[in-house]
Amino acid sequence: MFMSDLKDRRGQQSEWFERGWTLQELLAPQKMQFYDKRWKFMGTRNELAVTVGKVAGISSDYLNGRRLLEEASCATIMSWMAGRVTQKVEDIAYSLIGLFDVYLEPIYGEGTKAFVRLQDAIMKEFGRFDESLFAWERPKDSLLRCYRNQPRTHHFEQNKWGLLAPSPDCFERTGDVFIDKGRVEMRPEGGFQKSHQGLFFSLPSKEVKHRFGGPRNEISLPLNCWRFGNHGVLETIVLKLARIPDGEIFRIRCDQLDSQTGAKISHKGGVIIAVAQPQLGQTRV
Q: Residue 242 above 50 pLDDT?
A: yes
- Summarised one tens digit per residue, pLDDT across range 209-232 is 666 666 668 999 999 999 999 889
pTM > 0.85: yes
State the Cα–Cα distance between residues 256 and 253, nearest whole angstrom.
6
Q: How far apart are the first and last CA of the chain?
A: 44
Q: Residue 282 above 90 pLDDT?
A: no
pLDDT at res. 79: 98
- Summarised one tens digit per residue, pLDDT across range 6-36 is 554 554 567 888 999 999 999 999 999 998 8
235 φ/ψ angles, rounded to the nearest 5 degrees: -130, 145
Beta-bridge mates of residue 259: 237
Q: How many other C-beta atoms lie within 10 A of the C-beta of residue 194?
A: 18
What is the per-residue burial (b if ≥16 Cβ within 10 Å, else e) of 235-245? bbbebbbbbee
pLDDT at res. 269: 73
Query: Residue 60: which H helix or E strand, with range?
Result: helix 60-63
- Summarised one tens digit per residue, pLDDT across range 153-166 is 677 888 999 999 99
Q: Residue 283 above 50 pLDDT?
A: no
For the segment 72-79, the average pLDDT, to the nearest whole number, is 98
8 A C-beta contact, residue 200 and residue 208: no
Comparing CA positions, the residue from 64, 59, 188, 71 lying closest to residue 132 is 71
Residues sharing a CB contact under 8 Å with residue 38, sequence separation 6 or more, in sequence order: 7
Q: How many other C-beta atoms lie within 10 A of the C-beta of residue 141?
A: 10
Q: Residue 45 above 90 pLDDT?
A: yes
pLDDT at res. 11: 46
